């Protein structure tokens, strides 16, 4: 199992690659099939955010360990224009690109942890985590 998977996001076709890689890694980590879909959907949203606003960037997928908990970490990073008002961007229904405005707030709902840092003119980094539920 690779420790870290990096997917370059240069065009919308890479969105599909990123979410498929994420699904594969999450399956190896033992997530349920329902969780795999949530994770893949969240990756799709943040990857699309890169394509729409920054044109290019990367998605980095890795393991999360915290005590006995295991999970997946998804980092979405770009050097695009940045987000001037993060609170606004995290509001449901807010979009500057004629989308549904569900991308970032939606991704946050699908994952267990969601952190976003952005600087205008420098870029945006989103770190999301989801923990595998223990079975039995």
Q: What is the DSSP string of 34-70?
A: HHHHHHHHHHHHHHHHIIIIIS-EEEEEEEEEETTEE
Is 110 one of the binding residues for other proteins (CB under 8 A)? yes
Does 28 help bind other proteins (rule: CB under 8 A)?
no
13 binds other proteins (CB under 8 A): yes
Position among 99, 125, 127, 131 found at the interface with other proteins (CB under 8 A)? 99
- Determine which residue in the list 65, 100, 135, 136 makes contact with other proteins, applying CB under 8 A: 100
| Minimum distance of other proteins from residue 21's CB (angstroms) | 12
Q: Is 130 in the site for other proteins (CB under 8 A)?
A: no
Q: Which two tokens stand for residue 122?
A: 């420098």
Q: How far is 30 from 131, CA to CA, in rounded Å?
A: 10
Select from 131, 84, 83, 126 the least CA-distant residue to 108: 126
**12 forms part of the interface with other proteins (CB under 8 A):** yes
User: CA-to-CA distance for 76 and 80, rounded, in angstroms?
Assistant: 12
Taking the least distance from each CB to other proteins, the nearer of 1 and 13 is 13
């Amino acid at each position: 199992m690779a420790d870290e998977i990096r997917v370059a996001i240069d065009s919308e076709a890479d969105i599909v690659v990123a979410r498929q890689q994420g699904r594969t890694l999450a399956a190896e980590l033992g997530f349920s099939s329902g969780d795999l879909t949530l994770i893949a959907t969240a990756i799709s949203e943040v990857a699309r955010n890169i394509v729409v606003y920054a044109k290019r960037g990367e998605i980095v997928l890795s393991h999360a360990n915290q005590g006995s908990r295991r999970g997946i970490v998804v980092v979405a990073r770009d050097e695009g224009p940045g987000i001037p008002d993060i609170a606004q961007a995290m509001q449901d229904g807010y979009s500057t690109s004629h989308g549904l405005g569900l991308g970032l707030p939606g991704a946050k709902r699908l994952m267990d942890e969601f952190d976003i840092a952005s600087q205008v003119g420098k870029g945006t980094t989103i770190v999301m985590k989801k923990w595998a539920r223990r079975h039995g």
